[in-house]
Amino acid sequence: MPRGRTKCQDGKRNAARADKNAEAANANARRADENARKAENETKEAETQLLRARTAEYAAKIGVAQRDIAEGDVTHAEALLGGCASDLRGWEYRYVWTNLRKRRIVLSGHTDPVWSVAFSPDGGRIVSCSGPDPSATRRKSPITR
């Protein structure tokens, strides 16, 4: 009989240990859930900060491109607008892009670099010369935008 009591006592001790282990496991699970929530919140905060930074960069590019257009540096303005994130482009992008397109006239038909350009007095026609012999490659075209 003393032996039976030992088994009973062992069973109670094992049950007590199992209860302690279950409590510890529950506490670990709660800590893991809390850490997961913290990580999720930190991820959301990081994503928010990234969006703010991307938006600030986009706004700066739009502003500089607009200034460049006003100053006549359409090449730099076009490069800036081309570098704007497509998912952030809104009405302001289209507005500045349209202003850029209004200011740029493309001279087509030349195979060599353009050496000189002249406008008619009324501003309706343009003459451009290219190549080593400008008199042989003179082009006249109406100004279209």
Give the tens place of pLDDT for each residue, 1-23: 455 567 777 778 888 888 888 89
Percent of the chain with pLDDT over 70: 79
Q: Does the structure show a pLDDT above 70 at 101?
A: yes
Question: Are the C-beta atoms of 64 and 79 separated by less than 8 Å?
Answer: no
pLDDT in tens, 107-143: 666 677 777 777 777 767 777 777 666 554 555 555 5
Reply yes or no on whether the pLDDT at 40 is more than 90. yes
User: What's the domain range around 130?
Assistant: 105-145
Give 62: exposed, middle or buried? Use CB within 10 Å, 0-12, 13-18, 19+. Answer: buried
What is the predicted pLDDT for the residue at 35? 93
State pLDDT tens for residues 50-76: 999 999 999 999 999 999 998 888 899
Q: What is the pLDDT of residue 145?
A: 45
Asked if 99 and 129 sit in the same domain, the reply is: no
CA distances from 94 to 80, 82, 97, 98 (A): 13, 12, 5, 6
| Cα dihedral 21/22/23/29 (nearest 10) | 110
Q: In this structure, are 67 and 26 located in the same domain? A: yes
Number of domains composing the chain: 2
Do residues 96 and 82 make contact, with C-beta atoms less than 8 angstroms apart?
no
In this predicted structure, the answer to whether residue 94 has a pLDDT above a threshold of 60 is yes
| pLDDT computed for residue 89 by the predictor | 94
Same domain, 65 and 90: yes
Residue 145 to residues 69, 100, 105, 136, 142, Cα–Cα distance (Å): 16, 11, 6, 26, 10
Determine the pLDDT at residue 1: 43
pTM value is: 0.56
Instruction: Give just the sign of the alpha carbon dihedral 100, 77, 81, 111.
Output: positive
Examine the domain organization and report whether 42 and 99 are in the same domain: yes
Task: Give the pair of three-digit tokens for residue 53.
Answer: 């930074």
Average pLDDT, the chain: 82
Q: Are residues 47 and 94 both part of a single domain?
A: yes
Q: pLDDT band at 88, cuts 50/70/90?
A: very high
Same-domain status, 96 and 112: no
